[in-house]
Amino acid sequence: MSSQMQFGIFSVSDITRDPTTGQTPSEAQRISDIVTIAKHVEEVGLDVFALGEHHNPPFFSSSPTTTLAYIGASTSRLILSTATTLITTNDPVKIAEDYAMLQHLTGGRVDLVMGRGNTGPVYPWFGQDIRQGLALAIENYALLRELWEKDVVDWEGKFRTPLQGFTSTPRPLDGVPPFVWHGSIRTPEIAEQAAYYGDGFFANNIFWPKEHYQRLITLYRQRYAHYGHGTPEQAIVGLGGQAFMAKNSQDAVRQFRPYFDNAPVYGHGPSLEEFQELTPLTVGSPQQVIDRYAAMREYFGDYQRQLFLVDHAGLPLKTVLEQLDILGGEVVPVLRKELATDRPAEVPDAPTHAARVAAVYGDGPTRQARPTSAGGNNLTVGGPYQDTPVAAPAATSGSAFGPAATQKKVAR
Amino acid sequence: MTRRIAVVSAGLSNPSSTRMLADRLAQATVAELATRGIEAEIDVIELRELAHEITNNLLAGFAPPALEDAINRVVSADGLIAATPIFSTSYSGLFKSFIDVIDPDALTGMPVLLAANAGTARHSLAIDYAMRPLFAYLHAEPVSTGVFAASSDWGAQADEVKPLASRIERGARELAEAIARREERTIVDPFSPDAFLGEGRSFGHLLGGLAGE
């Protein structure tokens, strides 16, 4: 089903002590809870569940595709996404394989948000240097694209072992790779990267004043047009957000304040009132949240995806599920209506696998990759799949894909 | 075109000796620039008023509006007078915290006049062993004279051979010369593709694939 806007939640997967009870959930409990939360996201009529990736306590989500696959098997409609996938320290080959696999298992209900993480030591833990963070994000993503787009990849870069005649398996579902968003909170080069490829841009929109994200999104939209993917208004924008709701706004503030005051990242800093004024955090009645988020497009333009952070800072499962009930029951239906009003026709709908498949194949049959009998000998002319296009050398001059101009590689 | 001198004062009391020193340096610098035919204005940033916001920035990662405005005024100035009280042998924690929330590249090439005050002249070298390395790290360009004022400099037992006024005059002259030597400071928009890609370049250059790299 195609929709103009997708709504959902994103979780950083923190396991945090509940400041009102002093209890910290076990990993087993929190992991079981996240599955319950994700299923409830679908039950209340939201569209997206996105999960972070971390490799240290107090987080649990070291292995997002495992979790997302399990959630995918327990849901039928929910789009599974990431928040974010560490394009810097993960091997792009493994990302290509894992998420293509997840596509197949979930019928294409997968997209990714690329990010660079927020924990410095992750770089050395995975053998990288944080000072190369941006260079890694750029090179690794270029390789990831190639692995998804070409059946056979010859590749050599600065950071990873070279590949000769490598095929990433399984091939993307229907021959269409997952949609990719690029997330950044401060780096214009990442907005540029998203624009260059015609990918989406996701602004976390939680920790900083909106003016900051406005600059990044404006840049992304302008550059999206510059690289010839459409008008600035046709660029694909996702926003984060943060809300806590109760029928009466005073109750919401009273309930949420201890969690805010002790929250990881911003706890013990600005007051709840200051933080609400400076960032999109909205603690109050459902109507206040509707008003705040219906206005987002005035700052960022009409956009495609709105995710909320609702399960962090030690909030107990019961509270999180109640928040989802309010979001799905009272807030999002109104937001869908309000954001559809006066939405220009040229603004694209939120990306889905079905829409992306239709854009490539129309009503025709999609690609179904069937290995040849060559036994995985990728260097044999003819390629690893029965339908692999035969030895068309990569376009060289004037390619939209910069590296084609000088890097040595051959597509089969 | 009028030049603008940012004056950062980390003094805590009111009135503050740090601020008094900073004001005198600022006035003397404006006067020195005037003799060179350059008009200049003074833009004072009192860190005491921003102390809570500086702490919030350290904890939450972004500058609230008043602090962001102050930071922008500092990094876009043509020259900087940085004045701090000396606490426990070094610049004050508030002064350092303010420096810590400024982008480490933003003061590159900035002419700076270092100033400090403390109870006695025994702390005067703190300018050279504490403040100067900090600004060297930031690639700012502090003038060679730093001006230190001890409490006694404001009254009896002042230094009669090199009185405070003459030290102020010398530091101000050096800062004025440094400002006069330079073009007006231009601020690069970090969100301009020309800034982060290089003029006329494309993302393809970042990928390392296009000629002219």
Give A182-204 pLDDT, tens digit per residue: 998 889 999 999 999 999 999 99
> ipTM higher than 0.90?
no
Task: Determine the distance in angstroms separating the CA of A265 from the nearest CA of chain B, rounded to an integer.
Answer: 6
Residue A395 pLDDT exceeds 60: no
Q: Do A192 and B196 touch (CB under 8 A)?
A: yes
Mean pLDDT of A30-46: 98
Kindly state whether B196 is in contact with chain A, defined as any CB-CB distance less than 8 angstroms: yes
Those residues with Cβ within 8 angstroms of residue A217's Cβ, 6 or more apart along the chain or in another chain: A191, A201, A203, A237, A300, A301
Q: At what angle do helices B47-60 and B65-75 cross, to 10 degrees?
A: 110
Q: What percent of chain B has pLDDT over 70?
A: 98
Closest chain B residue to A142 measured between Cα atoms?
A: B207
B57 within 8 A of B94, measured Cβ to Cβ: no
Task: Please state, for a pLDDT cut of 70, what percent of chain A lies above it.
Answer: 92
The residue of chain A with its CA nearest to that of B64 is A278
Q: What is the pLDDT of residue A402?
A: 40
What is the Cα–Cα distance from A204 to A238, expressed in whole angstroms?
A: 8
* pLDDT for position A155: 95
> Are residues A278 and B208, on separate chains, in Cβ contact within 8 Å?
no
- How far B165 CA sits from the closest chain A CA (Å)? 42
Task: Specify the higher pLDDT residue, A390 or A43.
Answer: A43
Query: What CA–CA distance (Å, rounded) separates A72 from A255?
Result: 32
**pLDDT at residue A412 tops 60:** no
Interchain CB contact of B191 with A (< 8 Å): yes
Average pLDDT score over chain A: 92
The string over A298-308, giving b where at least 16 C-beta atoms fall within 10 Å of a residue's C-beta and e elsewhere, is: eebbbbbbbbb
pLDDT category of residue A393 using cuts at 50, 70 and 90: very low
Q: Higher model confidence: residue B148 or residue A3?
A: B148
What pLDDT, on a 0 to 100 scale, did the predictor assign at position B1? 79
Are the beta carbons of A138 and B207 separated by less than 8 Å? yes
Distance from CA of A76 to the nearest CA of B (A): 38
> Are B64 and A405 a contacting pair at CB < 8 A?
no
pLDDT in tens, B25-68: 999 999 999 999 999 999 999 999 999 999 999 998 899 999 99
Give the residue carrying structure tokens 């909030």.
A315
Query: Is residue A210 very low, low, confident or very high in pLDDT (cuts 50, 70, 90)?
Result: confident
Answer whether B60 touches A (CB < 8 Å): yes
Q: Distance (Å, rounded) from C-alpha A54 to C-alpha A68?
A: 15
For B145-158, write each residue's pLDDT tens digit. 999 999 999 887 77
Quote the pLDDT of residue B198: 87
B206 touches chain A (CB under 8 A): yes
What confidence tens digit (pLDDT) does each residue in A295-321 have? 999 999 999 999 999 999 999 999 999
Determine contact: B207 vs chain A, CB below 8 A: yes
Q: How high does pLDDT run on average in chain B?
A: 94
Of B55, B65, B203, which is closest to A193 when you measure between CB atoms?
Answer: B203
How many CB pairs below 8 A link A and B?
86
Q: Which pLDDT band holds residue A54 (cuts at 50, 70, 90)? A: very high
The mean per-residue pLDDT over the stretch B126-155 comes to 97
Angle (deg, nearest 10), helices B17-35 and B164-181: 50
pLDDT at A174: 97
Asked whether residue A3 carries a pLDDT value surpassing 90, the answer given is no
For an interface test with B, give the residue of A182, A186, A219, A229 to mutate (most B CBs within 10 A): A219
Element (H, E) at A43: helix A27-43
A406/B206 CB distance under 8 A: no
B93 min Cα distance to partner chain A (Å): 17
Q: Would you state the pLDDT for residue B42?
A: 98
Q: How far apart are CA A214 and CA A301, in angstroms?
A: 9
Give A349's pLDDT tier (boundaries 50, 70, 90): very high
Q: What is the pLDDT of residues A138-197, one digit of tens each?
A: 999 999 999 999 999 999 999 999 999 999 999 999 999 999 999 988 899 999 999 999
Q: Mark yes or no for CB contact B209/A405 under 8 Å.
A: yes
Measured at the CA of A88, the angle between CA A85 and CA A91, to 5 degrees, comes to: 80
Q: Which two tokens stand for residue A401?
A: 């894909």
Numbered residues of chain A with Cβ closer than 8 Å to any chain B Cβ: 138-139, 142, 188-189, 192-193, 195-196, 207-209, 212, 215-216, 218-219, 223, 226-227, 265-270, 274-275, 278, 401-407
Note the pLDDT of residue A381. Answer: 62
Q: Is the pLDDT of residue A407 over 70?
A: no
- Determine the residue of chain A that is closest to B58 in CA distance: A269
Cβ of A192 within 8 Å of Cβ of B203? The answer is: yes
pLDDT at A1 over 60: no
For chain A, give the percent of residues with pLDDT over 90: 84
Asked whether residue B190 carries a pLDDT value surpassing 50, the answer given is yes
Give the pLDDT score at A380: 61
Residue B122 has a pLDDT of: 94
CA nearest B65 in A: which residue?
A278
pLDDT at A23: 96
